[in-house]
Amino acid sequence: MRPETALILTIVLPLVGAVLVALTGRWPNLRETITLITGVALLAVVSTLVSPVLNGTATEVVLANTLPGLSIALSIEPLGLLFALVAAPLWIVTSVYAIGYMRGHNEQNQTRFFVAFAVAISSTMGVAFADNMFTLFLFYEALTISTYPLVTHAGTDKARRGGRVYLGILISTSILFQLLAIVWTYSVTGTLDFTQGGIFEESTPGWLIGVLYALFVFGIGKAALMPFHRWLPAAMVAPTPVSALLHAVAVVKAGVFTVLKVTVYLFGLDTIVSTGANDWLLYVAGATILLASLVAMTKDNLKARLAYSTVSQLGYIVLGALLATELGILGGSMHIATHAVGKITLFFAAGAIMVGAHKTEVSEFDGLGRRMPITFAAFTIGALSIVGLPPFAGLWSKWYLALATIEADRLLLLGVLIVSSLLNIAYLLVIPVRAFFLGTDDGSPGIKEAPRACLIAMGVTSAGCVILFFYPDFLYRLAGMVAG
């Protein structure tokens, strides 16, 4: 298959799948089979793009020409491929999990759920393979709109309120900051094409670089940098498979991916360092990492705790980008993947606890691990990976981020990473400790492991946490190509 064809198919395949899912909604087994087949086909197509990227083959597909120097186009490069290789397989795993969860929880409007899910993945692929900032912005906004029905899926007043916060913050940051930055950048440079080393001339004033960079960083609301993070906890009213989509597969990863993309391909590392555009933003990222961890410790609701954990972990990736060093980009790029497999495992476990035990509060988990050992074993693996302990994947990205702070002589930020990891232990590992070692089995009826599909999905992502520790070479190679 030609790379140009494959690029187009990454967008089209999920959309075709969405149509077929809508048409087969009356037959759940067929509907879900189509969802899984579409996911496998998408992964196969994305996999064909690995060889061209590793060989350095340039591939571009222009979908439409608009203004001079401005087109809607797709292309492949290492960072986009890395993001797509995270999102595509996790869509399959999340779909397997969603089948068990939606049936086990007797959720309504399941067809609408799977349709919106497929459209969201199509938008994610568009973000991953966008050739310029204009194209990325279009798919970025499509992702926001397509995930809104998922956030409000329950249809309750609480869900609608959460959806309003979700949509309000993401749309407002995009229009007030990101769109302004895009238009201003185009007026200064005459292009929005992603270019190695950046697109700004050396004569561009340093103050202007600083203002534009700040507008981009805060305008990319999906990165959840404080104070524009509230949409993420608000979205936890959604079903757990949606939370997994938001936190691991698509939305937040689209945000931090865009921050990395803007840093490397619009501004360039040398430009950011020479102008000092990153100086004060680094401490905003550091504050986000610590404050979100502290808030997570106060949350008894498991999904709320995991939501603030995600805000903190996204700060790691933004910090890697803002350091504007090769090691920072390397660590931030790798954290997209390592955080994804760890955090999706935690959300899968949270949903399994809700379905199997009908419990949502951490204070209710005492002794529950003896009734749901598979679920809490998976949670433990995911938590250890998020903490960054061997032999789990999260170690490698945190390792390179720590090295990046030393390389940049930002020892205060190294301290932030260390303290944050200790806080990770405090608010995550206490959960399996309570489940396995505290309380007694009260014999409550109805408590059991979640449906088999949920357990299979948790098993796959838990295995991913281990596999990426022992075999990180491919991930390291792609991230290294992004870092130059």
Beta-bridged to residue 62, according to DSSP, are: 73
For the chain, the domains span: 298-484
Structure tokens at 94: 């999340």
Q: Once rounded to an integer, what is the mean pLDDT over residues 304-314? A: 91
Dihedral (C-alpha) 335, 236, 141, 77: value to the nearest 10 degrees? 20
Per-residue pLDDT for 174 more than 60? yes
Q: What is the mean pLDDT of residues 322-335?
A: 94
pLDDT score at 466: 96
Of the pLDDT bands very low, low, confident and very high (cuts 50, 70, 90), residue 107 is low
pLDDT band at 160 (very low <50, low <70, confident <90, very high): confident
pLDDT tens by residue, 175-187: 999 999 999 999 9
Q: What is the pLDDT of residues 369-396, one digit of tens each?
A: 888 999 999 999 999 999 999 999 999 9
Specify whether the CB–CB gap between 271 and 196 falls below 8 A: no
Lowest pLDDT segment from 153-162, 258-267, 434-443: 434-443
Tell me the average pLDDT of the chain: 90
Amino acid present at 364: E
Query: Residue 473: pLDDT band by 50, 70, 90 thresholds?
Result: very high
Contact 178, 158 (CB under 8 A): no
| 19-37: burial string, b at 16+ Cβ within 10 Å, e else | ebbeebeeeeeebbebbee
pLDDT range class, residue 263, cuts 50, 70, 90: very high
- On the CB side of 370, CA atoms within 13 Å amount to 12
Mean pLDDT, residues 154-169 taken together: 86
Q: How confident is the model at residue 104 (pLDDT cuts 50, 70, 90)?
A: low
Predicted confidence at residue 58, as pLDDT, reads 79
- Assign 441 a pLDDT band (cuts: 50, 70, 90): low
| 199 pLDDT above the threshold of 60 | yes
What's the pLDDT at 105? 65
How many CA atoms within 13 Å lie on the side-chain side of 334?
A: 33
Nearest to 94 by CA among 119, 115, 114, 124: 114
| Cα 170 from chain centroid (whole Å) | 15
Lowest mean pLDDT among 84-98, 153-167, 199-213: 153-167
For the cut 80, the answer to whether the pLDDT of residue 442 exceeds it is no
pLDDT at 18 over 90: yes
Angle between the 251-261 and 326-357 helix axes, to the nearest 10 degrees?
180
pLDDT digits (tens, 9 = 90+) for 22-54: 999 888 889 899 999 999 999 999 999 999 999
Q: What is the mean pLDDT of residues 245-253?
A: 77
Region 94-114 average pLDDT: 80
Higher pLDDT, 144 or 236: 144
